Amino acid sequence: MESQGTSKAKNRAGSILRLYGREVIRQPFRFVLILIGAAGAQVCSLVIPLYMRQMFNTLVGTNTSAVVVHQLFVIVMIIGVVMLLRWASYRIEMWNISVLEIKAMSNLTTSSFEYLIRHSHQFFSSQFAGTLTRRVNKYGNAFESIFDSIVMTFFPAALFALGAIGILFFHNHTLGVILGGWSILFVFVQIYLSRKHRPLRMERADQDSKLGGAIADAIGNQSTIALFSGVTHEHNRLKEYVGRWTRAQLRSWLFAEYVWGAQGLLIVIINVVLLFGAVHFWQQGALTIGDFVLIQTYLMGTFDLLGGITQQLRRFYDALADAEEMSTILDEPHGIQDSANAVDIAVTDATIEFKNVEFYFRKEQPVLHDFNLSVRSMQKVALVGRFGSGQDDNHEALVAPV
C-alpha cells in the first residue's frame, strides 16, 4: 500500500510534467520537427546495417569481377547518402531542441518568479533568500534535463530497439524474440531501480538547496557575523550543512553504481546468449557472415541507447526532484489573496495609522510600547538609529500585520 507521501510525490511529479508539457505545446511546429528529426535519425541508423550486411556477404565471396566491385561501390555510396541523411536529421532535431528549450526555460523561470514574489511578507521572513533563488533557477533548468531525456534518449531508444527487434525477427525468429524479451526486462529493471532511487535523489536535492541557502545567508550577513564574532558559529553551522549534503549525495551516488552494475550484467548476458545462438544458426546454414555483422551492429546500437536510458533516468529523476522543490511553493496558496471578482482599488488619499501598539518577543523585553505613528499617502518614513538598536524588529512588527 502506498504511503501518503509517495502518493503526493507522484501527484506533484505528474503536475510538473503537465506544466512542462504545456510549454512544449506552445511551440507545436518546433516539437513536430524535433520528432521528425529524431525518427529520421533512427530510421537511418537501422538502414545502414542492412547495407553493411549486404556488403559483407558480397566480400566473403571469391568473385572479384568488375560487376561485383561495381556493386560494392554502389553499396558504399548508398551508405554514405544514408549517413548524410542521418546527419541532417540530427541537425534538424538539435537546432529545434535548442530554440524550444531556451524559450520554455525562460517562460518557466519568469512565471515561477512572478508567483513566488506575490507571496506574503510572512512567507519570506521564514525562508532563506539563497534557497529560494536556487529553487527558481532549478525549476527552469530542470526542463532542459527532462525534455532532453525524453526526446534525445527515451524516444530514440524505443524507435531503434523496436526496429532492431523487428528486423532481427524477420531474419531469425528465435533471435528476435530473445532480444525483444531481454529489452523489455532491461527497461523494467531500470525503471524499478530508478524509482527506488528517487527518495535518495529528492533528499540530495533538498540538502543541496539548504546548503546553498546557508552559504548565501552567511555571505549576506557577513558584516553582522564579523561584528559579533560569529565566525566560529557560522563555520560549525556550515560544516553541519555540508555533512548532511555529503551523506545524501554519497547515498545517491552509491545506489547509482548498483544500477550501473545491474545494467552491465544484463548486457553481458544477452551479448553472450545472442552470439551463441548466432553461431548455432550459422552452423545450420541459417545465418551468413553478413547476418553476424547485422546482429552485432544492432546489439551495439541497442546497448548504447538502452544503456543511455540508465544515465538519463538518473538525470531525469534528479531534474524532477529539483523541480519538485519549487513546485511545493507553487502549490502553496498566497497568504493574501484577492476576493473573487475583486476590482482594482484606486487610492488617492489615505493614511496608515498605528495607535498604542505594543510588540515584544518576551514580556520583559518589549520592542514597542505605546507606539503611535501616522503615515499619509505618498509619505516616506525612515526608522533611523544606531546599529543593533532595533530598526529591523520595529519594521517586522509594523509590516507583518499590514
Q: What is the pLDDT of residues 288-321, one digit of tens each?
A: 888 888 888 888 888 787 777 767 777 887 888 8
pLDDT tens-digit readout, 242-283: 898 898 888 888 888 887 788 788 888 888 888 888 888 888
pLDDT at 2: 46
Name the segment(s) of the chain with CATH classification 1.20.1560.10: 4-331
* Separation of alpha carbons 164 and 289, rounded Å: 18
The set of cell numbers assigned to 359 is: 510588540
Over 60: is that where the pLDDT of 388 sits? no
Instruction: Find all residues with CB under 8 Å of 234, minimum gap 6, and list them.
Output: 218, 225
Q: Where are the alpha helices (DSSP H) in 118-154?
A: 121-125, 129-149
* CB 211, CB 241: distance < 8 Å: yes
For residue 393, what pLDDT is reported?
64
Taking residues 337-349, report their average pLDDT: 73
Q: Give, in degrees to the nearest 5, the angle at Cα 135 between 220 and 106.
A: 110
Which residues make beta-bridge pairs with 353?
A: 374
- Residue whose C-alpha is closest to residue 274's, from 182, 349, 201: 182
C-alpha cell at 327: 513546485
Question: Which CATH number is 4-331 given?
Answer: 1.20.1560.10
Note the pLDDT tens digit of each residue in 168-204: 888 888 888 988 888 888 878 877 887 787 788 778 8
Helices (H) and strands (E) in the chain, counts: 11, 2
Residue with cell 531525469: 316
